[in-house]
Structure 1
């Protein structure tokens, strides 16, 4: 938040008219739009620079997709929450975004009132979905959690995965962790994704909570 208590929002969309219109609507409702971006690369860079509370994320971007951009944003600014606002309600898009760490998913047919309420709810840590999509997401995670993992007697993390998890719990970005451990950014991201799968967690917020609960932030 800003010093005046205004929520800091970043809007990621490659259509200037839509992006500017959403930013204007948010400003009129008292939000502080601290940045906009039009692709995966710019989303990650600008999130690192402004540390937004909430990022509104489109799924179709010129240099990748919203899931990739969500991962880039959260790697640069782990405290941010991502709310997808997309024309697509395709299953793969929805699940891809959530698995990348998005907190919610709205389709662009949502009204201005629904969007404003969703941004506030996302900032407060709630999961917000267009009706019908929440059931899809819950069903997928139930299916995943009920599927036997042959390698799993209990979560078994490698020494490197545990080391990365400790830094995640301390709030370091993937880039910062990579620098500390002399690894590439991609290698750190691979360790994070492997840890999420092993612990059956949905995103970095849950991963951080797990690490803190198990004393890995000390």
Structure 2
């Protein structure tokens, strides 16, 4: 799915992708339409602009992933500003490419994103990794405290394990796992398991 409020750019990118064998299942030009069409069309990859008439690309990314959590969002923006990049990644985007990229770079980036690989314009990857490192080493002073068991469950959530797999690993019941997940969601004020996994990854729990 291609999300951009400039018709010529949106249609040109969609056409280029189609020419390369991709199936463009939808296009959108606003945050609201992106969320609605992602839920209906269920795209594997979403190409996302950062500046839309009714909100930011970060807002749209969050709403697209809420509607279709399995989607992978690759930002394609004219902006390489630090705040735009970090806002997009924190909202759930898996990569960030500036619009000055060559067509071949874009096509390869879409393929890599579909395969689950993060893709960044040179220079931006270091920015994102540095921010994640800072976040994991310098927790917010008012960050909620999770119990040891909640942290242990969260670590496995970050690795993509299901409740049943976590239960088997920790030798507890799936219901107990869900209770710990629910408690963590409440403490961290997060909306769902996808956001919980993202929080864990951002704080380095998946590497422990």
Distance 1:131 1:198 in 2: 23
Unaligned runs of 5+ in 1: 1-9, 171-186, 211-218
Distance 2:148 2:27 in 1: 39
Distance 2:145 2:76 in 1: 36
Q: Is the 8 A contact 1:44 1:69 kept in 2?
A: yes
Counterparts in 2 of 1:103-182, with a 5 A limit?
103-150=94-141, 151-152=144-145
Equivalent pairs counted in the alignment come to 173
Q: Is the 8 A contact 1:145 1:200 kept in 2?
A: no
2:183 aligned with 1:191, yes or no? no
Give, in angstroms, the shift of residue 200 of structure 1.
Answer: 3.5
Distance 1:73 1:155 in 2: 33
Q: 1:133 to 1:16 in 2, by over 3 A?
A: same
TM-score normalised by structure 2 residue count: 0.74
Q: 1:30 to 1:99 in 2, by over 3 A?
A: same
TM-score normalised by structure 1 residue count: 0.70
Partner of 2:25: helix, strand, or coil?
strand
In the alignment, what sits opposite 1:14?
A: 5
Give, in angstroms, the shift of residue 196 of structure 1.
Answer: 3.8
Give, in angstroms, the shift of residue 156 of structure 1.
Answer: 7.8
Q: 1:20 to 1:198 in 2, by over 3 A?
A: closer
Larger RCO (CA within 8 A; separation ≥ 6): 1
Unaligned runs of 5+ in 2: 164-185
In the alignment, what sits opposite 2:79?
A: 88
Give, in angstroms, the shift of residue 113 of structure 1.
Answer: 0.1
Rg larger in structure: 2
Give, in angstroms, the shift of residue 197 of structure 1.
Answer: 9.0
Distance 1:43 1:23 in 2: 15
Decide which of 26, 50, 53 is 2:17's aligned counterpart. 26
Q: 1:199 to 1:156 in 2, by over 3 A?
A: farther
